[in-house]
Amino acid sequence: MTDLSNRHSATSRRKLPQAGGARWGTSESGDDAGSFVAQHLGSWEQLLEALPDGAALLDERGVIHFTNSHLTKMTGYSRDELVGRSVQLLVPPHLRAKQTLARRERSRNPNASFIWSEEDLSVLCKDASELAVDFALSPLEVDGRSWTLAAIRDCSSRRASERARADVELRFRVAFEKNMAPMTFTDADDRIIAVNDAFCQMVGFNRAELLGRDSTPFTLPEDVGITEETHQRMLSGEADQERYVKRYLRKDGRVIDVEVLRSPARDEAGRIVYFVFSERDVTEERALAAQLSHQALHDPLTGLANRALFEDRLSQAHARLVRHGGVDAVLLIGLDDFKGVNETHGHFVGDQLLTSVANRIVEATRATDTLCRFAGDEFLYLAENLESPAEAELLAERLIRVIAEPFAIAGTRIEQHASIGVVIWDGSSTNFEETIQNVDAALREAKRRIPGHHVVFTPSMHQRAVNRFALIQELRHAFQVGQLEMHYQPIADLKTSEVVGFEALMRWRHPEKGWVPPNVFIPLAEQSDLILELGSFALREAIAEASSWGRGQSSSTRPYVTVNLSSHQFLDRGLVPMIKRMLSESGLESDRLILEITESVALIDIAETMTVLDHLNQLGVGIALDDFGTGFSSLSYLAALNPRIIKIDQSFVRPARESVRNDTLLETIISLGQKLHMTMLAEGIETKSQFARLRRLGCELGQGYLFSAAVPTSEVEAMVGLVFGS
């Protein structure tokens, strides 16, 4: 019943006791075997029944003549179902070939006892299940007849235990030998007793080069002590597990960082018998962590410290000041005309310029100080251990001169200037956010006064900054609750003094402060995103109001309205669709709407400006060039823009001091507009003499307090068609 190559044989005969209570039957052969059994073996029944295993008596042909109760319990058959049947009844189909081989072996050596014990041996039970068993076959010779006593032992529990042990061994081999994580075992003296392939690959040594050695051959000399220290701590009981990082020196000479987890294995008495090491190459991980740490603390464009690192350095500087005293300074360097570089040459050149500025500042300062890229075109600089506050000012002036030297970027010569805010820092304040706010206030003051210079912070600057911020918040609230309203200043025909149009001007009636001047709150709005909302509000109100002026007049004589546009609004992609929608909703004729822009706004991006102007011309909306004479006043740009109206700045209409030269300039400007077929409008007319001079020079339009200040909506209709002085 088994593969004979795996059998075990015994030459001694086994004497089997008779089974008590056995039922003797007649064999299928029809001979006198039954009477023989009854005659000679009946006295063994009790002994065979007492066997701990199943037992069956077989004749030469394998027919069962006797079974004990153990076999019937094992197989589920009764004795009547087994006696007289071939033993093949108990042989699973897949083992019958082996049973045939076993019978042949018995026929060749009938006097030998055989024991078969294999993993796949089993008997077929009545319910068609298979039970794992071992077999022992012992020959019997009685009165010239050969019999075989088969002992069948249930070994399912033993087989299950063996499989469990095999599974454990297999799992260990997979977990250790085939593990992708490097692992080693060392004895109590820390000498290697086993390594897996992954460890060999990690260090570049083979097993023969590692077994019996400690970790010295593959450890960087400076880190040998790390392993020795952890070994001693574990032997002394100070630690039951250790995790540490050390550097390994591979066989090829390359150094790697390895994270090591060491654990002891103890016997029943608690003594350490060996150590288990699980290790991991963390070289790339640590390099990535260092890279990420650098990225987290440095500006990706310039490589300078970022704000987080700067604040940390500021904290360290404060601690040094507290211990040793002295003077430090924080400088905020802001480029004055960087936006123009981006708009003219593109962001790629702008980024290169920022990098060049950063490098130039680094070269001009001490390596012990800290330079940080604070914002787009602003740099924070911490200068430590200064001799006096005056040294901080000298440093600021030197940096201004250094930055003012022309840059060569992408084959282009670019001049750049900077303004600098300075805070003298003695460490008395630990509020680093306040320090940065103060230096920012100083920079804004420098840009407000004279760009290209430095300003040292004073407490009054902080208060102005606080007031400015508070006013912005109040302005946002005022817009939401309807405190803003549009007033309209009349524009007169200087020949007839008749009102021909109105300039829409925004006014803010503060509930506590009264009227807030536009030159105060409009610049604040331009520093925030509120300017677009205010601009849309002004357009909507002005267009809706103008649509009702002079309803009884012909379209050609009804007054027009002019509305000022900020740079943000003029270059906003939604401007033209919004105006088209507002004109359609209000019914205002498009030629009665004139948009005012300054030269500086028009020249921010001349190509984009021309595109916007083309769309507005298609709508029939006019353009007025405001504050003419105070900007670039380029004739080539003037011809390209081709505005309907040129507004002469009031500084030419009412100069601080009368002079022939001023009269000549005014006359030239008006003459230029006439030759270009552009309508000239003079601003700020306050006296009759100014009015008379402008009319004499041929200026067509004018506005100013001589005619009227801006009036609320309720008073506009009464001024439509009004002739001043009549």
Q: Is residue 26 predicted with pLDDT exceeding 50?
A: no
What is the band of 44 on the pLDDT scale with cuts at 50, 70, 90? low
Delimit the domains of the chain by residue range.
Answer: 4-159, 179-286, 298-457, 487-504+535-719
pLDDT tens string 165-190: 777 667 777 667 777 789 898 898 88
Query: Greater confidence, 162 or 717?
Result: 717
CA distances from 411 to 408, 414, 590, 712 (A): 6, 9, 46, 55
- Please list, in sequence order, all residues whose beta carbon lies within 8 angstroms of the beta carbon of residue 133, skipping any fewer than 6 positions away: 54, 74, 121, 122, 123, 152, 153, 154, 155
Nearest CA to 531 among 475, 489, 493, 614? 475
What is the band of 247 on the pLDDT scale with cuts at 50, 70, 90? very high
pLDDT of residue 7: 38
How large is the average pLDDT for residues 459-479? 81
pLDDT tens string 428-438: 666 778 888 88
Find how far residue 571's CA is from the centre of its chain: 32
pLDDT of residue 20: 35
pLDDT of residue 634: 58
pLDDT of residue 3: 37
Q: Is residue 24 predicted with pLDDT exceeding 50?
A: no
pLDDT of residue 16: 37
Q: Is residue 134 predicted with pLDDT exceeding 70?
A: yes
Confirm if 411 and 316 have CB atoms less than 8 A apart. Answer: no
Instruction: Report which DSSP code applies to 527.
Output: T
- Residues of the chain above pLDDT 90, percent: 30
pLDDT of residue 28: 44
pLDDT of residue 512: 85
How large is the average pLDDT for residues 354-364? 91
CA distances from 207 to 146, 196, 248 (A): 59, 8, 17
Find how far residue 149's CA is from the centre of its chain: 79
On average, the pLDDT of the chain sits at 83
d(CA 705, CA 710): 9
pLDDT of residue 14: 38
Q: Do domains 4-159 and 179-286 have the same CATH topology?
A: yes
Choosing among 3.30.450.20, 3.30.70.1400, 3.40.50.700, 1.10.490.10, the CATH entry for 179-286 is 3.30.450.20
pLDDT of residue 5: 32
d(CA 32, CA 26): 8
Instruction: Report which DSSP code applies to 381.
Output: E
Question: Whole-prediction pTM value?
Answer: 0.51
How large is the average pLDDT for residues 583-592? 93
pLDDT of residue 580: 94
pLDDT of residue 452: 87
pLDDT of residue 62: 85
Neighbouring CB atoms inside 10 A of 355's CB total 17
The CATH architecture to which 298-457 belongs is: 2-Layer Sandwich (3.30)
pLDDT of residue 114: 67
How large is the average pLDDT for residues 555-573? 88
pLDDT tens string 596-607: 988 777 776 777
The pairing of strands 645-648 and 679-682 is parallel
Question: Residues 320, 323, 324, CA angle at the centre, nearest 5°?
Answer: 80
pLDDT tens string 605-638: 777 888 899 999 999 999 998 877 665 555 667 7
pLDDT of residue 34: 52
Q: Is residue 483 predicted with pLDDT exceeding 70?
A: yes
CA atoms within 13 A on the CB side of 196: 18
341-355, 522-536, 648-662: which has the minimum mean pLDDT? 648-662
Find how far residue 700's CA is from the centre of its chain: 61
How large is the average pLDDT for residues 524-529? 78
CATH number of 4-159: 3.30.450.20
How large is the average pLDDT for residues 291-306? 78
The CATH architecture to which 487-504+535-719 belongs is: Alpha-Beta Barrel (3.20)
Query: Greater confidence, 100 or 123?
Result: 123
Q: Is residue 22 predicted with pLDDT exceeding 60?
A: no
pLDDT of residue 125: 93
